[in-house]
């Protein structure tokens, strides 16, 4: 039989990433003023069509970067070569104002919401493009006037020929996320023409340096004594391909090798040696960690949007496939098989919950940046920022894997696109902090501002009270369950300070409650304005509370509180073999 003969699987119809999304249009209708929403609808419709027709076909052209370290005469050149697909996607993102929208401020406190809505639907086709574009904010926050004058126009440019990209150089061999072990040292030097800040000379090695193609990089180096740990670190701006530095080598930056990563293949990530590298102080001396913490508030939102946008794309593929794939002897489409649809529902509920949670935090970020956030809103943002990142990174890939399975063997094929999306999103489990690091940051945020939990509970109570006045009986039991879960938070946050086993389950518990509250807010609004999806919105809230992670994480924390020391001892024995392993050693 020839391949053209016999059964031919009909291809699925490609869904528009905005117009046919089951969550985002309604969510934006709730959180954006009418006039802004009207403008955004038109723009997202156009953007979605460009993604489908022009950007998605570039996927086969995105390959890992390569480096030529020496030329034919044996001279060190360190020429970096990125793939054609990656360069064209970068140019597209720059032209679309990937970061610029937040600073053009056409939408005031809603500018971040608009920016991240666009970025989310771009994520599925843009191959982790946010990586070389996520450092703009640190220049805006901590740059000198000269940096802002000379660099921000390039970082925010919509013209690929003049736009700048930036890397991030934090990780070193001794510490990973523990930056207190940083070995790179910075020594003050005399100021010269063209310096954009206080000049230093850096020497060291950066082990996991993102966006090695950048015109500049933001990195940590030690300016204090080693005994000071992270309190002796400062943040620096390192010029690489700008001004009087035409190449990294011209500034003493040697590309040792490119990382062979599981995913994010388009992004060139490198091991770099710094030998007498000139850099400019970014922010106050010895306060690099504080500067990073401010930067994390934004880059962690980028990370979260990457996870949620990747999940959105995988779900879209699985949903579309179910409308053309027939089973049961070719008589029944997958969309009409209850068991199959039940699996897609699980993915959809996760996506809906994460999207509502993420844009809830983004709304707070926008208000904060415009000076409109109250003290209570600022406190809630500080709690939510590490939470959304840790939770989305942990759970989104599980939903994406489930979407892969929904396509059967086709899902496992590279051309389906889900495999690449999973690999790329997996970096978010590590970049800007693992779930354990995010969980520790959450408990630290509470320790620094104990009233933050009180403010959060008061906000949650207001949503619950509004819902109780408007919703009908099928959801009221779920509302009561959520209320009881909300009121337990002070007990668990208090215990997390002395009980290490509570920390990560607490982030999951807090995130699940936060998802529920934002789903409840949306369901209440939906019913009030008679949204077409009001019944679905209410059912999504009910299922999230009654069938989701809140009860599971509550049990986890209860056991951790009751049996702390015994569980720690048994955990070690389960992992390392306990007495058996000790005997062998």
* Residue 395 pLDDT exceeds 60: yes
3-state secondary structure of 169: strand
> What average pLDDT does the segment 431-439 reach?
92
* Residue 163 pLDDT exceeds 50: yes
Distance CA 131, CA 249 (A): 22
pLDDT digits (tens, 9 = 90+) for 308-323: 999 999 999 999 999 9
273: β partners: 205, 254
Pairing of strands 185-188, 199-209: antiparallel
How confident is the model at residue 307, as a pLDDT? 97
The burial of 579, by beta-carbon neighbours within 10 Å (0-12 exposed, 13-18 middle, 19 or more buried), is given as: exposed
Contact 31, 113 (CB under 8 A): yes
pLDDT digits (tens, 9 = 90+) for 362-388: 999 999 999 999 999 999 999 999 999
| Nearest of 138, 76, 12 to residue 415 by alpha carbon | 12
Which structure tokens are listed for 179?
A: 């930056």
3-state secondary structure of 377: helix
Which residue is listed with tokens 């489409």? Answer: 333
* Residue 84 pLDDT exceeds 70: yes
Give the length of the chain: 585
- CA 531 from chain centre, in angstroms, equals 30
Buried b (16+ CB within 10 A) or exposed e, 24-49: bbbbbbbbbeeebbeebbeebeebbe
Distance CA 254, CA 525 (A): 56
Distance CA 152, CA 145 (A): 10
* Residue 581 pLDDT exceeds 60: no
Predicted TM-score of the model (pTM): 0.94
* Residue 176 pLDDT exceeds 80: no
* Residue 3 pLDDT exceeds 80: yes
pLDDT digits (tens, 9 = 90+) for 195-219: 999 999 999 999 989 889 999 999 9
Residue 176: CB atoms within 10 Å: 15
DSSP structural state of residue 22: S
> What average pLDDT does the segment 76-105 reach?
93
Provide the CB-side half-sphere exposure for 475 (13 A, CA).
26
Is residue 295 very low, low, confident or very high in pLDDT (cuts 50, 70, 90)? Answer: confident
> What average pLDDT does the segment 177-183 reach?
84
pLDDT digits (tens, 9 = 90+) for 502-542: 999 999 999 999 999 999 999 999 999 999 999 999 999 99
What secondary structure, in 3-state letters, does 305-317 show?
Answer: HHHHHHHHHHHHH
Distance CA 86, CA 126 (A): 8
Is residue 490 very low, low, confident or very high in pLDDT (cuts 50, 70, 90)? Answer: very high
Average pLDDT, rounded, for the chain:
93
Is residue 497 very low, low, confident or very high in pLDDT (cuts 50, 70, 90)? Answer: low
| Stronger pLDDT, 200 or 582, i.e. the higher one | 200
How confident is the model at residue 432, as a pLDDT? 87
CA angle 485, 488, 491 (to 5 degrees): 155
Provide the CB-side half-sphere exposure for 33 (13 A, CA).
7
Distance CA 171, CA 174 (A): 9
Instruction: List the single range of 144-153, 168-177, 378-387 with lowest mean pLDDT.
Output: 168-177
Distance CA 140, CA 151 (A): 10
Is residue 585 very low, low, confident or very high in pLDDT (cuts 50, 70, 90)? Answer: very low
Domains of the chain with CATH codes: 23-156 (1.10.540), 166-288 (2.40.110.20), 290-429 (1.20.140.10), 436-576 (1.20.140)
The burial of 356, by beta-carbon neighbours within 10 Å (0-12 exposed, 13-18 middle, 19 or more buried), is given as: buried
How confident is the model at residue 105, as a pLDDT? 80
- Residues in contact with 48: Cβ distance below 8 Å, sequence separation at least 6, in sequence order: 16, 17, 18, 19, 121
Is residue 297 very low, low, confident or very high in pLDDT (cuts 50, 70, 90)? Answer: confident
* Residue 117 pLDDT exceeds 80: yes
Which residue is listed with tokens 């501002």? Answer: 449
| Stronger pLDDT, 195 or 181, i.e. the higher one | 195
> What average pLDDT does the segment 48-53 reach?
97
DSSP structural state of residue 52: I
* Residue 63 pLDDT exceeds 60: yes
Which structure tokens are listed for 96?
A: 């679309």
How confident is the model at residue 406, as a pLDDT? 97
Distance CA 1, CA 4 (A): 8
pLDDT digits (tens, 9 = 90+) for 214-272: 999 999 999 988 888 888 999 999 999 998 999 999 999 999 999 999 999 999 999 99
- Residues in contact with 120: Cβ distance below 8 Å, sequence separation at least 6, in sequence order: 24, 305, 308, 309, 312, 355
How confident is the model at residue 496, as a pLDDT? 67
> What average pLDDT does the segment 457-479 reach?
90
Is residue 35 very low, low, confident or very high in pLDDT (cuts 50, 70, 90)? Answer: very high
Which residue is listed with tokens 């011209």? Answer: 250
Buried b (16+ CB within 10 A) or exposed e, 219-229: bbbbbbeeeeb
How confident is the model at residue 582, as a pLDDT? 52
> What average pLDDT does the segment 394-422 reach?
96
């Amino acid at each position: 039989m020839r391949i053209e003969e016999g059964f031919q699987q009909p291809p699925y119809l490609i869904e528009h990433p905005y117009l046919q999304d089951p969550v985002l249009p309604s969510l934006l209708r709730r959180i954006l003023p009418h006039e802004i929403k009207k403008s955004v609808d038109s723009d997202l419709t156009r953007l979605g069509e460009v993604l489908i027709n022009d950007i998605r076909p570039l996927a086969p052209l995105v390959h890992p970067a390569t480096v030529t370290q020496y030329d034919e005469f044996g001279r060190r050149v360190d020429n970096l070569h990125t793939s054609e697909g990656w360069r064209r996607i970068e140019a597209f993102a720059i032209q679309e104002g990937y970061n610029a929208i937040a600073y053009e401020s056409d939408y005031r406190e809603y500018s971040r919401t608009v920016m991240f809505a666009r970025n989310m639907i771009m994520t599925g086709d843009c191959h982790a493009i946010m990586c070389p574009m996520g450092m703009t904010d640190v220049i805006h926050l901590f740059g000198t006037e000269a940096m802002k004058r000379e660099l921000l126009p390039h970082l925010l440019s919509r013209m690929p020929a003049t736009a700048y990209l930036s890397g991030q150089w934090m990780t070193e061999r001794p510490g990973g996320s523990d930056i207190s072990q940083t070995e790179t040292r910075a020594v003050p030097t005399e100021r010269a023409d063209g310096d954009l800040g206080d000049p230093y000379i850096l020497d060291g090695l950066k082990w996991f340096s993102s966006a090695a193609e950048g015109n500049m990089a933001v990195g940590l180096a030690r300016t204090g004594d080693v005994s000071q740990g992270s309190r002796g670190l400062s943040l620096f701006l390192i010029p690489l391909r700008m001004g009087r530095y035409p190449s990294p080598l011209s500034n003493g930056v040697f590309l040792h090798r490119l990382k062979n990563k599981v995913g994010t293949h388009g992004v060139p990530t490198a091991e770099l040696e710094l030998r007498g590298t000139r850099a400019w102080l970014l922010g106050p001396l010895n306060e690099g960690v504080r500067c990073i913490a401010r930067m994390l508030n934004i880059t962690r939102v980028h990370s979260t949007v990457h996870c949620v946008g990747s999940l959105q794309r995988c779900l879209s593929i699985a949903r579309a496939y179910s409308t053309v794939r027939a089973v049961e002897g070719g008589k029944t489409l997958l969309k009409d098989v209850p068991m199959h649809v039940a699996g897609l529902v699980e993915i959809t509920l996760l996506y809906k919950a994460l999207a509502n949670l993420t844009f809830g935090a983004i709304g707070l970020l926008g208000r904060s940046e415009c000076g409109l956030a109250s003290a209570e809103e600022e406190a809630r943002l500080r709690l939510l920022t590490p939470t959304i990142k840790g939770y989305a990174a942990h759970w989104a890939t599980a939903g994406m894997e489930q979407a892969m399975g929904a396509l059967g063997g086709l899902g496992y094929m590279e051309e389906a696109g889900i495999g690449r999306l999973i690999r790329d999103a997996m970096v978010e489990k590590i970049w800007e902090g693992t779930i354990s690091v995010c969980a520790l940051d959450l408990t630290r945020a509470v320790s620094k501002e104990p009233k933050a939990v009180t403010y959060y509970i008061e906000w949650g109570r207001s949503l619950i009270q509004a819902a109780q006045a408007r919703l009908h009986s099928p959801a009221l039991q779920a509302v009561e369950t959520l209320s009881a879960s909300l009121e337990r938070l002070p007990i668990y946050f208090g215990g997390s300070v002395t009980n290490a086993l509570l920390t990560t389950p607490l982030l999951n518990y807090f995130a699940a409650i936060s998802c529920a509250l934002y789903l409840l807010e949306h369901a209440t609004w939906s019913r009030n304005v008679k949204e077409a999806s009001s019944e679905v919105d209410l059912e999504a809230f009910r299922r999230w509370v009654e069938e989701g992670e809140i009860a599971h994480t509550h049990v986890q924390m209860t056991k951790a509180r009751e049996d702390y020391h015994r569980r720690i001892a048994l955990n070690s024995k389960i992992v390392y073999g306990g007495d058996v392993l000790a005997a062998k050693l």
